[in-house]
Amino acid sequence: MNSETCKREIVIEIPADVIAKESEGVVTQFQRVARIPGFRKGHAPATLVRRHFKNDIRSELVQSLLPKFFDNAVKEKNFEVVGQPRFEDLKFEDGEPLTCKASFEVAPEFELGEYKGLEIEGESAQVTEEEVDKAVDELRQSAATYEDVQGRPTKDDDYVMVSYEGRDTKDAESAPIQSRSAVVHLGGQGTVAAFTENLRGASPGEKREFDVPYPDDYPQKSLAGKTVHYAVSVESIKRKVLPPLDDELAKSAGDSETLADLRVKIREGLEKRKARHVEHQAMAKLLTQLEGRHAFPVPEVMIEGQLDRKLEGFISQLMAQGIDPRTTQIDWRKIREEARPDAEKDVRGSMILERIAAAEKIEVSEEEVDDLIREMAEERREPAAALKTRLTQEAALDRIKSTRRNHKALELIYHEAKITGKS
Protein backbone atom coordinates (compact mmCIF):
# COMPACT_ATOMS: atom_id res chain seq x y z
CA MET A 1 0.00 0.00 0.00
CA ASN A 2 1.36 3.45 -0.99
CA SER A 3 -0.12 6.45 0.85
CA GLU A 4 1.53 8.91 -1.58
CA THR A 5 -0.58 7.59 -4.43
CA CYS A 6 -4.09 6.24 -4.73
CA LYS A 7 -2.89 2.77 -5.71
CA ARG A 8 -3.71 -0.13 -3.40
CA GLU A 9 -3.17 -3.88 -3.44
CA ILE A 10 -4.86 -6.61 -1.44
CA VAL A 11 -4.70 -10.40 -1.52
CA ILE A 12 -8.07 -12.10 -1.78
CA GLU A 13 -8.52 -15.64 -0.45
CA ILE A 14 -11.67 -17.66 -1.08
CA PRO A 15 -11.94 -20.74 1.22
CA ALA A 16 -12.04 -24.19 -0.37
CA ASP A 17 -15.40 -25.03 1.23
CA VAL A 18 -16.99 -21.93 -0.31
CA ILE A 19 -15.62 -22.91 -3.71
CA ALA A 20 -16.92 -26.47 -3.30
CA LYS A 21 -20.41 -25.26 -2.39
CA GLU A 22 -20.53 -22.77 -5.28
CA SER A 23 -19.15 -25.42 -7.61
CA GLU A 24 -22.14 -27.69 -6.97
CA GLY A 25 -24.53 -25.03 -8.20
CA VAL A 26 -22.42 -24.25 -11.28
CA VAL A 27 -22.11 -27.95 -12.20
CA THR A 28 -25.89 -28.33 -11.86
CA GLN A 29 -26.38 -25.44 -14.30
CA PHE A 30 -24.00 -27.03 -16.79
CA GLN A 31 -25.75 -30.40 -16.41
CA ARG A 32 -29.05 -28.89 -17.59
CA VAL A 33 -27.60 -27.75 -20.91
CA ALA A 34 -24.63 -30.06 -21.45
CA ARG A 35 -24.56 -32.20 -24.58
CA ILE A 36 -22.26 -35.18 -24.05
CA PRO A 37 -22.21 -38.14 -26.47
CA GLY A 38 -24.11 -41.15 -25.08
CA PHE A 39 -26.32 -39.12 -22.76
CA ARG A 40 -29.54 -37.24 -23.26
CA LYS A 41 -29.42 -33.49 -22.69
CA GLY A 42 -29.54 -32.83 -18.95
CA HIS A 43 -28.85 -36.47 -17.92
CA ALA A 44 -25.04 -36.64 -17.97
CA PRO A 45 -23.53 -37.46 -14.54
CA ALA A 46 -21.92 -34.63 -12.57
CA THR A 47 -18.47 -36.27 -12.57
CA LEU A 48 -18.50 -36.43 -16.37
CA VAL A 49 -19.73 -32.83 -16.66
CA ARG A 50 -16.92 -31.70 -14.35
CA ARG A 51 -14.35 -33.44 -16.53
CA HIS A 52 -15.73 -32.25 -19.89
CA PHE A 53 -16.27 -28.63 -18.82
CA LYS A 54 -13.51 -28.22 -16.24
CA ASN A 55 -12.10 -24.96 -17.63
CA ASP A 56 -15.55 -23.44 -18.22
CA ILE A 57 -16.64 -24.30 -14.69
CA ARG A 58 -13.44 -22.83 -13.20
CA SER A 59 -13.97 -19.64 -15.21
CA GLU A 60 -17.58 -19.38 -14.05
CA LEU A 61 -16.53 -19.85 -10.41
CA VAL A 62 -13.88 -17.13 -10.67
CA GLN A 63 -16.29 -14.67 -12.32
CA SER A 64 -18.95 -15.42 -9.73
CA LEU A 65 -16.93 -15.43 -6.52
CA LEU A 66 -14.02 -13.04 -7.07
CA PRO A 67 -16.05 -9.79 -7.40
CA LYS A 68 -18.08 -10.66 -4.26
CA PHE A 69 -15.02 -11.34 -2.13
CA PHE A 70 -13.27 -8.27 -3.54
CA ASP A 71 -16.25 -6.08 -2.58
CA ASN A 72 -16.30 -7.54 0.93
CA ALA A 73 -12.55 -7.01 1.34
CA VAL A 74 -12.61 -3.32 0.33
CA LYS A 75 -15.67 -2.68 2.52
CA GLU A 76 -13.82 -4.10 5.53
CA LYS A 77 -10.96 -1.67 4.89
CA ASN A 78 -13.33 1.24 4.12
CA PHE A 79 -11.80 1.74 0.68
CA GLU A 80 -13.74 3.85 -1.86
CA VAL A 81 -12.65 2.15 -5.07
CA VAL A 82 -12.24 4.29 -8.19
CA GLY A 83 -12.41 2.52 -11.54
CA GLN A 84 -12.12 -1.22 -12.06
CA PRO A 85 -9.69 -3.51 -10.17
CA ARG A 86 -7.04 -5.56 -11.93
CA PHE A 87 -6.72 -9.19 -10.76
CA GLU A 88 -3.34 -10.91 -11.02
CA ASP A 89 -1.44 -13.96 -9.72
CA LEU A 90 -4.54 -16.16 -9.67
CA LYS A 91 -3.95 -19.48 -7.92
CA PHE A 92 -6.76 -22.00 -8.17
CA GLU A 93 -6.09 -25.68 -7.48
CA ASP A 94 -8.64 -28.43 -6.79
CA GLY A 95 -9.41 -28.72 -3.08
CA GLU A 96 -7.37 -25.59 -2.26
CA PRO A 97 -8.41 -22.00 -1.48
CA LEU A 98 -8.48 -19.60 -4.42
CA THR A 99 -6.04 -16.72 -3.99
CA CYS A 100 -5.56 -13.64 -6.11
CA LYS A 101 -3.89 -10.21 -5.92
CA ALA A 102 -6.18 -7.26 -6.66
CA SER A 103 -4.65 -3.91 -7.75
CA PHE A 104 -6.86 -0.85 -7.78
CA GLU A 105 -7.11 2.83 -6.94
CA VAL A 106 -9.08 4.54 -4.21
CA ALA A 107 -10.50 8.02 -3.73
CA PRO A 108 -7.96 10.08 -1.78
CA GLU A 109 -8.62 11.14 1.78
CA PHE A 110 -8.07 14.83 2.47
CA GLU A 111 -9.24 17.44 4.95
CA LEU A 112 -11.33 20.17 3.39
CA GLY A 113 -9.75 23.55 4.08
CA GLU A 114 -11.41 26.95 4.31
CA TYR A 115 -13.26 27.85 1.13
CA LYS A 116 -15.24 30.92 2.19
CA GLY A 117 -13.82 34.42 2.30
CA LEU A 118 -11.02 33.73 -0.19
CA GLU A 119 -9.33 36.85 -1.56
CA ILE A 120 -8.34 37.46 -5.17
CA GLU A 121 -7.78 40.43 -7.46
CA GLY A 122 -10.49 40.70 -10.08
CA GLU A 123 -10.57 42.29 -13.51
CA SER A 124 -12.53 45.37 -14.49
CA ALA A 125 -15.82 44.78 -16.28
CA GLN A 126 -15.97 48.29 -17.72
CA VAL A 127 -16.33 48.63 -21.49
CA THR A 128 -14.25 51.36 -23.16
CA GLU A 129 -15.16 53.53 -26.14
CA GLU A 130 -12.36 51.83 -28.08
CA GLU A 131 -14.03 48.45 -27.57
CA VAL A 132 -17.36 49.83 -28.80
CA ASP A 133 -15.58 51.35 -31.82
CA LYS A 134 -13.99 48.01 -32.61
CA ALA A 135 -17.33 46.18 -32.39
CA VAL A 136 -18.98 48.75 -34.67
CA ASP A 137 -16.15 48.38 -37.17
CA GLU A 138 -16.50 44.58 -37.12
CA LEU A 139 -20.20 45.02 -37.87
CA ARG A 140 -19.31 47.38 -40.70
CA GLN A 141 -16.76 44.91 -42.07
CA SER A 142 -19.36 42.14 -42.06
CA ALA A 143 -21.71 44.37 -44.10
CA ALA A 144 -19.07 45.07 -46.75
CA THR A 145 -19.59 44.26 -50.42
CA TYR A 146 -17.04 43.23 -53.04
CA GLU A 147 -16.77 44.92 -56.42
CA ASP A 148 -14.96 43.68 -59.51
CA VAL A 149 -11.83 45.60 -60.43
CA GLN A 150 -11.24 46.28 -64.13
CA GLY A 151 -8.32 47.70 -66.07
CA ARG A 152 -5.47 47.23 -63.62
CA PRO A 153 -3.34 44.44 -62.11
CA THR A 154 -3.54 43.29 -58.49
CA LYS A 155 -2.21 45.33 -55.58
CA ASP A 156 -2.13 44.98 -51.82
CA ASP A 157 -5.53 44.75 -50.08
CA ASP A 158 -7.15 43.28 -53.20
CA TYR A 159 -9.18 40.09 -52.95
CA VAL A 160 -7.94 37.86 -55.77
CA MET A 161 -10.03 34.93 -57.02
CA VAL A 162 -7.68 32.11 -58.04
CA SER A 163 -7.49 28.41 -58.85
CA TYR A 164 -4.32 26.55 -57.95
CA GLU A 165 -2.56 23.24 -57.72
CA GLY A 166 0.37 22.58 -55.42
CA ARG A 167 2.80 19.68 -55.10
CA ASP A 168 5.43 18.79 -52.51
CA THR A 169 8.79 19.47 -54.16
CA LYS A 170 10.36 16.47 -52.40
CA ASP A 171 7.52 14.00 -52.88
CA ALA A 172 6.29 13.84 -56.47
CA GLU A 173 3.97 10.94 -55.62
CA SER A 174 2.04 12.84 -52.96
CA ALA A 175 -1.53 13.93 -53.61
CA PRO A 176 -1.75 17.45 -55.08
CA ILE A 177 -3.16 20.40 -53.13
CA GLN A 178 -5.98 21.76 -55.26
CA SER A 179 -8.56 24.52 -55.01
CA ARG A 180 -10.97 26.16 -57.40
CA SER A 181 -12.17 29.78 -57.04
CA ALA A 182 -10.26 30.38 -53.82
CA VAL A 183 -9.90 33.93 -52.49
CA VAL A 184 -6.48 35.35 -51.58
CA HIS A 185 -6.41 38.65 -49.65
CA LEU A 186 -3.13 40.22 -50.75
CA GLY A 187 -1.24 41.47 -47.72
CA GLY A 188 -4.08 40.38 -45.48
CA GLN A 189 -3.60 38.93 -42.00
CA GLY A 190 -3.30 35.16 -42.31
CA THR A 191 -2.31 35.23 -45.99
CA VAL A 192 0.95 33.38 -46.63
CA ALA A 193 3.53 36.05 -47.55
CA ALA A 194 4.72 34.14 -50.62
CA PHE A 195 1.23 34.32 -52.15
CA THR A 196 1.11 38.11 -51.67
CA GLU A 197 4.59 38.61 -53.11
CA ASN A 198 4.06 36.36 -56.14
CA LEU A 199 0.51 37.45 -57.02
CA ARG A 200 1.13 41.19 -56.65
CA GLY A 201 0.89 42.84 -60.09
CA ALA A 202 -0.91 39.91 -61.75
CA SER A 203 -3.85 40.36 -64.13
CA PRO A 204 -6.96 38.22 -64.71
CA GLY A 205 -6.16 35.29 -66.99
CA GLU A 206 -2.48 35.30 -65.99
CA LYS A 207 -0.76 32.19 -64.61
CA ARG A 208 2.10 32.24 -62.14
CA GLU A 209 4.24 29.51 -60.59
CA PHE A 210 6.26 29.77 -57.38
CA ASP A 211 7.52 27.80 -54.38
CA VAL A 212 6.19 28.28 -50.86
CA PRO A 213 8.45 27.08 -48.00
CA TYR A 214 6.32 26.42 -44.92
CA PRO A 215 7.95 26.73 -41.46
CA ASP A 216 8.20 23.72 -39.17
CA ASP A 217 5.67 25.26 -36.79
CA TYR A 218 3.07 26.03 -39.47
CA PRO A 219 -0.41 25.45 -37.95
CA GLN A 220 -1.53 23.11 -40.74
CA LYS A 221 0.55 20.07 -39.85
CA SER A 222 0.23 18.49 -43.31
CA LEU A 223 2.23 21.44 -44.73
CA ALA A 224 4.61 22.15 -41.82
CA GLY A 225 8.26 21.91 -42.84
CA LYS A 226 7.49 21.30 -46.52
CA THR A 227 8.16 23.30 -49.66
CA VAL A 228 5.23 23.29 -52.09
CA HIS A 229 5.39 24.33 -55.75
CA TYR A 230 2.18 26.11 -56.79
CA ALA A 231 0.73 26.75 -60.24
CA VAL A 232 -1.82 29.56 -59.83
CA SER A 233 -4.35 30.95 -62.32
CA VAL A 234 -5.76 34.42 -61.60
CA GLU A 235 -9.50 34.54 -62.34
CA SER A 236 -10.62 37.97 -61.15
CA ILE A 237 -9.81 40.87 -58.85
CA LYS A 238 -12.20 42.33 -56.30
CA ARG A 239 -11.99 45.19 -53.81
CA LYS A 240 -13.78 45.48 -50.52
CA VAL A 241 -16.29 48.33 -50.23
CA LEU A 242 -17.32 49.34 -46.69
CA PRO A 243 -20.75 50.92 -46.09
CA PRO A 244 -20.85 54.45 -44.63
CA LEU A 245 -20.80 54.70 -40.86
CA ASP A 246 -24.29 56.18 -40.54
CA ASP A 247 -27.89 55.52 -39.49
CA GLU A 248 -28.50 53.34 -42.55
CA LEU A 249 -25.84 50.92 -41.29
CA ALA A 250 -27.64 50.80 -37.92
CA LYS A 251 -30.97 50.01 -39.60
CA SER A 252 -29.52 47.28 -41.82
CA ALA A 253 -27.65 45.71 -38.90
CA GLY A 254 -30.70 45.17 -36.72
CA ASP A 255 -33.54 46.98 -35.00
CA SER A 256 -31.68 50.23 -34.30
CA GLU A 257 -32.94 53.43 -35.89
CA THR A 258 -29.78 55.46 -35.43
CA LEU A 259 -26.05 54.91 -35.14
CA ALA A 260 -26.24 56.21 -31.56
CA ASP A 261 -28.87 53.58 -30.69
CA LEU A 262 -26.70 50.90 -32.27
CA ARG A 263 -23.72 51.94 -30.15
CA VAL A 264 -25.86 51.76 -26.99
CA LYS A 265 -27.02 48.23 -27.81
CA ILE A 266 -23.51 47.14 -28.70
CA ARG A 267 -22.22 48.53 -25.40
CA GLU A 268 -24.93 46.67 -23.45
CA GLY A 269 -24.03 43.42 -25.19
CA LEU A 270 -20.32 43.94 -24.57
CA GLU A 271 -20.97 44.71 -20.89
CA LYS A 272 -22.93 41.49 -20.44
CA ARG A 273 -20.27 39.39 -22.17
CA LYS A 274 -17.44 41.07 -20.29
CA ALA A 275 -19.21 40.62 -16.95
CA ARG A 276 -19.57 36.89 -17.67
CA HIS A 277 -15.91 36.73 -18.70
CA VAL A 278 -14.74 38.54 -15.57
CA GLU A 279 -16.87 36.26 -13.39
CA HIS A 280 -15.50 33.18 -15.16
CA GLN A 281 -11.92 34.39 -14.69
CA ALA A 282 -12.53 35.10 -11.01
CA MET A 283 -13.98 31.61 -10.48
CA ALA A 284 -10.96 30.09 -12.22
CA LYS A 285 -8.61 32.02 -9.92
CA LEU A 286 -10.55 30.93 -6.84
CA LEU A 287 -10.48 27.30 -7.90
CA THR A 288 -6.73 27.51 -8.59
CA GLN A 289 -6.26 28.96 -5.10
CA LEU A 290 -8.26 26.11 -3.60
CA GLU A 291 -6.26 23.54 -5.55
CA GLY A 292 -3.04 25.04 -4.19
CA ARG A 293 -4.33 24.66 -0.63
CA HIS A 294 -5.21 20.98 -0.99
CA ALA A 295 -2.34 18.57 -1.61
CA PHE A 296 -3.48 15.00 -2.20
CA PRO A 297 -2.80 12.27 -4.77
CA VAL A 298 -5.18 12.01 -7.71
CA PRO A 299 -6.25 8.59 -9.06
CA GLU A 300 -4.58 7.82 -12.40
CA VAL A 301 -7.78 6.26 -13.72
CA MET A 302 -9.61 9.58 -13.24
CA ILE A 303 -6.80 11.50 -14.96
CA GLU A 304 -6.95 9.09 -17.90
CA GLY A 305 -10.72 9.52 -18.10
CA GLN A 306 -10.36 13.31 -18.17
CA LEU A 307 -7.69 13.01 -20.89
CA ASP A 308 -10.08 10.88 -22.94
CA ARG A 309 -12.75 13.57 -22.68
CA LYS A 310 -10.27 16.32 -23.62
CA LEU A 311 -9.16 14.44 -26.73
CA GLU A 312 -12.76 13.66 -27.65
CA GLY A 313 -13.49 17.39 -27.49
CA PHE A 314 -10.45 18.17 -29.65
CA ILE A 315 -11.51 15.59 -32.23
CA SER A 316 -15.04 17.02 -32.27
CA GLN A 317 -13.60 20.48 -32.98
CA LEU A 318 -11.58 19.12 -35.90
CA MET A 319 -14.63 17.39 -37.34
CA ALA A 320 -16.72 20.56 -36.94
CA GLN A 321 -14.10 22.30 -39.11
CA GLY A 322 -14.46 19.60 -41.74
CA ILE A 323 -11.14 17.95 -40.86
CA ASP A 324 -10.93 14.16 -40.74
CA PRO A 325 -8.75 13.38 -37.66
CA ARG A 326 -7.61 10.14 -39.30
CA THR A 327 -5.92 12.03 -42.14
CA THR A 328 -4.06 14.56 -39.99
CA GLN A 329 -0.42 14.17 -39.02
CA ILE A 330 -1.03 14.69 -35.32
CA ASP A 331 1.13 13.17 -32.60
CA TRP A 332 -1.76 12.07 -30.38
CA ARG A 333 0.57 10.61 -27.76
CA LYS A 334 2.39 13.93 -27.43
CA ILE A 335 -0.87 15.88 -27.22
CA ARG A 336 -2.11 13.51 -24.52
CA GLU A 337 1.08 13.86 -22.50
CA GLU A 338 1.07 17.65 -22.80
CA ALA A 339 -2.56 17.74 -21.62
CA ARG A 340 -1.85 15.57 -18.55
CA PRO A 341 -1.05 18.42 -16.08
CA ASP A 342 -4.29 20.21 -16.95
CA ALA A 343 -6.25 16.96 -16.69
CA GLU A 344 -4.84 16.29 -13.21
CA LYS A 345 -5.68 19.88 -12.23
CA ASP A 346 -9.24 19.44 -13.52
CA VAL A 347 -9.75 16.24 -11.51
CA ARG A 348 -8.29 17.73 -8.33
CA GLY A 349 -10.54 20.78 -8.62
CA SER A 350 -13.57 18.58 -9.27
CA MET A 351 -12.89 16.47 -6.18
CA ILE A 352 -12.55 19.57 -4.00
CA LEU A 353 -15.81 21.02 -5.34
CA GLU A 354 -17.57 17.69 -4.74
CA ARG A 355 -16.51 17.83 -1.08
CA ILE A 356 -17.71 21.43 -0.79
CA ALA A 357 -21.04 20.58 -2.44
CA ALA A 358 -21.49 17.74 0.05
CA ALA A 359 -20.59 19.97 3.00
CA GLU A 360 -23.07 22.63 1.82
CA LYS A 361 -25.73 20.01 0.97
CA ILE A 362 -25.97 21.35 -2.59
CA GLU A 363 -28.33 19.39 -4.83
CA VAL A 364 -29.33 19.49 -8.50
CA SER A 365 -32.98 18.95 -9.39
CA GLU A 366 -34.28 17.00 -12.35
CA GLU A 367 -35.70 20.27 -13.69
CA GLU A 368 -32.19 21.77 -13.73
CA VAL A 369 -30.87 18.77 -15.61
CA ASP A 370 -33.68 19.07 -18.14
CA ASP A 371 -32.88 22.76 -18.62
CA LEU A 372 -29.22 21.91 -19.28
CA ILE A 373 -30.23 19.24 -21.78
CA ARG A 374 -32.50 21.72 -23.58
CA GLU A 375 -29.59 24.17 -23.86
CA MET A 376 -27.34 21.42 -25.22
CA ALA A 377 -30.05 20.35 -27.68
CA GLU A 378 -30.40 23.91 -29.00
CA GLU A 379 -26.64 24.15 -29.57
CA ARG A 380 -26.60 20.79 -31.35
CA ARG A 381 -29.86 21.51 -33.19
CA GLU A 382 -31.59 18.29 -32.22
CA PRO A 383 -34.72 17.44 -30.21
CA ALA A 384 -34.19 17.62 -26.44
CA ALA A 385 -36.06 14.33 -25.90
CA ALA A 386 -33.82 12.50 -28.36
CA LEU A 387 -30.68 13.95 -26.75
CA LYS A 388 -31.86 12.97 -23.25
CA THR A 389 -32.56 9.42 -24.43
CA ARG A 390 -29.07 9.13 -25.90
CA LEU A 391 -27.39 10.62 -22.83
CA THR A 392 -29.33 8.19 -20.65
CA GLN A 393 -28.18 5.24 -22.77
CA GLU A 394 -24.58 6.53 -22.55
CA ALA A 395 -24.89 6.85 -18.74
CA ALA A 396 -23.94 10.53 -19.10
CA LEU A 397 -26.74 12.09 -17.03
CA ASP A 398 -24.90 11.52 -13.74
CA ARG A 399 -21.85 13.33 -15.12
CA ILE A 400 -24.03 16.26 -16.25
CA LYS A 401 -25.63 16.44 -12.81
CA SER A 402 -22.23 16.22 -11.08
CA THR A 403 -20.79 18.98 -13.28
CA ARG A 404 -23.74 21.26 -12.50
CA ARG A 405 -23.46 20.49 -8.76
CA ASN A 406 -19.78 21.39 -8.80
CA HIS A 407 -20.52 24.63 -10.64
CA LYS A 408 -23.08 25.58 -8.01
CA ALA A 409 -20.42 24.97 -5.35
CA LEU A 410 -18.02 27.23 -7.27
CA GLU A 411 -20.71 29.91 -7.53
CA LEU A 412 -21.10 29.77 -3.73
CA ILE A 413 -17.33 30.22 -3.31
CA TYR A 414 -17.41 33.16 -5.73
CA HIS A 415 -20.24 34.95 -3.91
CA GLU A 416 -18.51 34.42 -0.55
CA ALA A 417 -15.12 35.64 -1.82
CA LYS A 418 -13.47 39.03 -1.36
CA ILE A 419 -12.63 40.29 -4.84
CA THR A 420 -10.58 43.47 -5.09
CA GLY A 421 -10.06 45.69 -8.10
CA LYS A 422 -13.32 44.86 -9.89
CA SER A 423 -15.79 47.56 -10.90
Which parts of the chain sit beneath pLDDT 50?
Answer: 1-2
Residue 415 and residue 151: Cα distance in Å, rounded?
Answer: 65
Q: What angle do helix axes 366-380 and 397-416 make, rounded to 10 degrees?
A: 110
Rounded CA separation 88/284 (Å): 42
> Dihedral of the CA atoms 13, 16, 17, 21 (nearest 10)?
100
pLDDT of residue 2: 45
* Region 145-241: CATH code: 3.10.50.40
CATH architecture under which domain 7-106 falls: 2-Layer Sandwich (3.30)
The CA-to-CA distance between both ends of the chain, in Å, stands at: 51
208 contacts 190 by C-beta, under 8 angstroms: no
Please tell me what DSSP assigns to residue 190. T
Asked if 100 and 88 touch (Cβ cutoff 8 Å), the reply is yes
Give residue-wise pLDDT tens across range 142-193: 999 999 999 999 999 999 999 999 999 998 888 889 999 899 999 998 899 9
Query: Can you give the three-state secondary structure of 36-82, one letter per residue?
Result: CCCCCCCCCCHHHHHHHCHHHHHHHHHHHHHHHHHHHHHHHCCCCEE
Backbone torsions φ then ψ of 341, nearest 5 degrees: -60, -40
pLDDT tens digits for 334-365? 999 999 999 999 999 999 999 999 999 999 99
- Could you state, in order of their start, the residue ranges of all structural domains in the chain? 7-106, 145-241, 258-420
Q: To which CATH superfamily is domain 258-420 assigned?
A: Trigger factor, C-terminal domain (1.10.3120.10)
Give the closest residue to 292 by CA, choosing from 357, 350, 348: 348
Q: Report yes or no: 272 and 266 within 8 Å, Cβ to Cβ.
A: no
Pairing of strands 98-106, 7-14: antiparallel
Contact predicate 143/253, CB 8 Å? yes
Please say whether the beta carbons of 166 and 177 come within 8 A.
yes
